[in-house]
Amino acid sequence: MNNQDTYFVADAKGNIKIGRTYNIRERLMGLQRERGGEMTLLAIIPDDQIELELHRKFEHLRIEGEWYEPGPDLLAFIEELDFLLREVGADHCY
């Protein structure tokens, strides 16, 4: 059974992390401590199996680890994802 969510978070510089977690609130607090600044939750997918596929899809924007430049294709993907999840009434999209 899938218990983790894949998330998109932006740091104060606008760079985007694609990761997965069991608890998004705890993860955001941890990222804020690690990066020394405010984090903005952009979207959540209630599926942890898609994370690696997304890392491959946006490899051309990778900065380091799971952090990516906010390229137009990544931003468009997040925007469309947010719209689609809201349309179907998913409660995991913020």
Residue 18 CB partners (closer than 8 Å, separation 6+): 6, 7, 8, 51, 54, 55, 58, 66, 68
Q: What is the pLDDT along the chain (94 residues), one digit of tens a residue?
A: 458 999 999 999 999 999 999 999 999 999 999 988 899 999 998 888 899 999 999 999 999 999 999 999 999 999 988 766 665 555 544 4
Residue 24: the pLDDT is 92
**Tokens standing for 7?**
């998330």
Q: Using an 8 Å Cβ cutoff, are 16 and 58 in contact? A: no
